Structure 1
Amino acid sequence: MPAAALLPAETPPFAELVYPLATPPDSGTTVEVAPGVHWLRMPLPFRLDHINLWLLEDGPGWTIVDTGLGTEKTKQIWRGLFADRLGGKPVTRLICTHFHPDHMGLAGWIAAEWKVQLWATRMEWLWGRMLSLDDSDHAIEVGIAFYARAGMDATGLDALRQRGNAYRKGTVPPPSHMRAIGAGEIIQISGRGWHVHIGSGHSPEHACLYAPDIDVLIAGDQVLPRISPNVSVWGSEPEDDPLARFLATIERLRAIPASALVLPSHGLPFRGLHLRLDQLARHHGIHFDQVMAACTDWRSAQDVARVLFTRELDAHQMIFAIGESLAHLHNLERRGQLDRRLGEDGVIRFRALGAST
């Protein structure tokens, strides 16, 4: 589950943000972006083709923030970094912002290679452990039933069945033990305090790290400069309202100074945090309006997905489009603006309250 598997329309006006570092590091190299904070990139085999990772100088060694996807190619790049780019200093700590495979995919491997502890929020670690170890068919069938109720067509359901447990394919199982971090905690790294801010909506308990003395925010996927983080309902919690949590997170993150240098997991580092939070809130407000306009008659989540995402989507992309559509539908329903019904065909449909029959 990458940050924005759909690459939805950019949320304008992204050009108003300030990008002080216009050139990303080449594969296998690093760039120092702030005192003691180094930027590296790993490739992803998706349309969203990279992830930004961070190395923090940590006394005699390095703290790694996020790992990249659990593939042999990513391991090879890490091996080169370990051999050539870390100045002979060891990895002393591993922090993962959240459980998605491009962030936690090699946590188990790096922890074993360097005999270090994984630091993460408890919920993210538990999700990573569960999904990476689940080899049953039951979860796949639950997912197929979930998307069928959302109106996914037979082609999409067949693709979902063939996809299987995609998480396991991109992840080395996370360590069986970890060090839990939580909201308000201050992690000391080389005498610098990194304040833990927790976000939700994109993932259950996403950790962002802010260092006041250098005014730097490691934002993970919670705040991205050009695309909106994927906020979806999943079959594991079919009645969830993740968008309410995401919008609440936007408001909480305003406690971080607007001047912060934001280090996102995708795209370029930028300044303009509060402006970007405004843009993300406005983006979802536009989607709410589009959903309400579409639901003058009964609409399934797949119907709404075709309104929110107007370009042609393949079966894999439709999975994420339906999830995002449900996030907006559920939020509007809980705010008393939509009603739902289960059709004789087993599909759940939504309609604006007060719309004519």
Structure 2
Amino acid sequence: MEGIHQVQLPLPFPLRIVNVYLMRDGDGWTIIDAGLNYPPGQAAWREAFNRYGVDPASIRRIVLTHAHPDHYGMAGWLQSLSGAPVALSAGEATFARAQWHSDSRAHETTAIFFGSHGMPRDLMATVAEDIASLRLMTHPTPVALTHIPAGEPLMIGRRVFVPIATPGHSDDHLVFYCAEERLLLCGDAVLIKITPNVGLWGWTHGNPLAQFLASLDRLAELDVALALPGHGPPITRFHERLEELRVHHAERLAAMEHAVGAGATAYEVCTAVFPLQELTSHQMRFAMAETLAHLEYLAAQGRIEQIEHDDGQYAWRRCIC
């Protein structure tokens, strides 16, 4: 697309790459998503600036689809180079402050939350360490965040984008749709080679899988010829991919319901469905969160129910009501 450059930034975990975008914006530039702040990521940005002739002072703004660390982490670093404002949805800004600022204890509360669903103590400790290390790769955090309301047109160069709320992967994820060019900047709402992680965390609002599936329905109403995602290659068969994601989650729900059986913790369901021996601790926490999201969805449908034991531990069983 004219005036749009995809920049692939490295990540220090199995996902390996996050896609961010440099977009011509008049005589300057807008950045879509930021990457994770560690030396290889900074080097990749500097190389991209040299390749495309970008003076950091000409960066007008940094727009984020959501505040997960691989999309948010270098926003403050880019802001320190450019002086540009950082913009995202109000909900994601609140999430970023709670998770990534220096006084956050989110790594501890997340580990405790997983522990109440059966995660062993040694893995809880590793998960907390992993999240605490990630938080350091979001510093410096931006000095100020501006909010992007869903539905309010956003002009980038000659293109008019409409921000669309697509909760599920994160609570207040935004995508940006240019109807004239049938172009979608879709962040992690839709990916082609992997499925977006839909997880239930200690801070998650409501039923994330139900929200994700509703977001797919909302996106199905758009006429999209090209979607530019946060990971993996560009998507040209957009509506087919939406259907594939629906099928994937239907199959995953069936597998989770079967694994619950007469009773199981979320961790037991997780280890029955995911190949635990093949997962890093980083991947394991996402598998656990995804398991909980599917169990929450099944419970909302009346297919299973949650049990709280006297010791504060939770389990799930086939619904007998």
Alignment TM class, shorter chain as reference: over 0.9
**1:118 matched to which residue of 2?**
86
> TM-score if structure 1 supplies the norm length?
0.84
1:51-102 CA-partner distances (Å, limit 9, x unpaired): 1111111110111111111112212222233344225582112111110111
Q: CA deviation at 1:306?
A: 1.6
Aligned to 1:100: 68
Note closer, same or farther for the CA distance 1:83–1:38 as it changes in structure 2 (3 Å cut): closer
1:155 maps to which residue? 122
The answer to whether the Cα contact below 8 Å between 2:61 and 2:87 also exists between their aligned partners in 1 is yes
In the alignment, residue 56 of structure 1 is paired with which amino acid? M
Match of 1:343 among 306, 309, 319: 309
**8 A contact 2:151–2:162 mirrored in 1:** yes
Partners in 2 of 1:185 and 1:329 — Cα distance?
35
- For residues 266-305 of structure 1, the C-alpha deviation after alignment (integer angstroms, 9 at most, x for no partner) is 1111211111111111111111111221222111101111
Q: Which amino acid aligns with 2:148?
A: I
> Matches of residues 282-321 of structure 1 in structure 2 within 5 Å?
282-312=247-277, 313-321=279-287
Task: State the number of aligned residues.
Answer: 319
Shift of 1:323: 0.8
**Runs of 4+ residues over 6 Å off in structure 1:** none
Residue 177 of structure 2 aligns to a residue whose secondary structure is strand
For 1:164 and 1:50, the matched residues in 2 are separated by: 18
Alpha-carbon distance, 1:153 to partner: 1.3
Once the two structures are TM-superposed, the CA of residue 307 in structure 1 deviates from its matched residue by: 2.5
* Residues 187 and 194 in structure 1, CA contact (< 8 A), matched pair in contact too: yes
Q: Within 2, Cα distance between the matches of 1:115 and 1:158? A: 38
| Aligned partner letter, 2:235 | F
Aligned counterparts of 1:187 and 1:122: Cα–Cα separation in 2: 15
* Alignment match of 2:26 (pick from 59, 73, 88): 59
CA–CA distance in 1 between the matches of 2:227 and 2:123? Answer: 37
1:214-293 map, 5 Å: 214-237=181-204, 240-257=206-223, 259-293=224-258
TM-score (normalised: structure 2): 0.93
Matched AA of 1:256: L
Corresponding residue for residue 210 of structure 1? 177
| Paired residues of 1:99 and 1:128 also in contact (CA < 8 A) | yes
Contact persistence 1:96–1:103 (CA under 8 A): yes
What SS does the corresponding residue of 1:350 show, helix, strand or coil? strand
Q: Given that residues 276 and 284 in structure 2 are in contact (C-alpha distance below 8 angstroms), is that contact kept between their aligned partners in structure 1?
A: no
Change (3 A) 1:210 1:161: closer
Q: Does 1:45 align with 2:12?
A: yes
Which residue number in structure 2 is paired with residue 27 of structure 1? none
Gaps of 5+ in 2: none
| CA deviations over 1:225-284 (Å, ceiling 9, x no partner) | 0111111111234x8421111111010111211x42011111111211111111111111
Q: 1:190 to 1:158 in 2, by over 3 A?
A: closer
Q: What is the rounded CA distance, in whole Å, between the counterparts of 1:87 and 1:151 in structure 2?
A: 49
Equivalent residue of 1:284, what SS? helix
Q: Which residue of 2 aligns with 1:327?
A: 293
Residues 137-188 of structure 1 show CA distances to partners (whole Å, capped at 9, x for unaligned) of x544422321111101132123134335244122124323233112212111
1:341 Cα deviation from its structure 2 partner: 1.2
Q: Tell whether 2:154 aligns with 1:193.
A: no
1:311 Cα deviation (Å)?
4.9
Instruction: Name the counterpart of 1:11.
Output: none
> Does 2:46 match 1:79?
yes
Select which of 133, 136, 144 maps to 2:101: 133
Deviations 1:202-246 (A, max 9, x none): 111111111122221111011000111111111234x84211111
The runs of 5 or more residues in structure 1 that have no matched partner are 1-33
Relative contact order (alpha carbons < 8 A, sep ≥ 6): 1 or 2 greater? 1
> Structure 1's 105 and 139: CA in aligned 2 closer, same or farther, altered over 3 A?
closer
Deviation for aligned residue 1:344: 4.4
Once the two structures are TM-superposed, the CA of residue 336 in structure 1 deviates from its matched residue by 1.4
Q: Is contact 1:132-1:173 (8 Å) kept? A: no
8 Å Cα contact 1:129-1:173 kept in structure 2: no
Task: Name the SS for the 1:243 alignment partner.
Answer: helix
In proportion to residue count, which structure has more helix? 2
Identity value in percent? 34
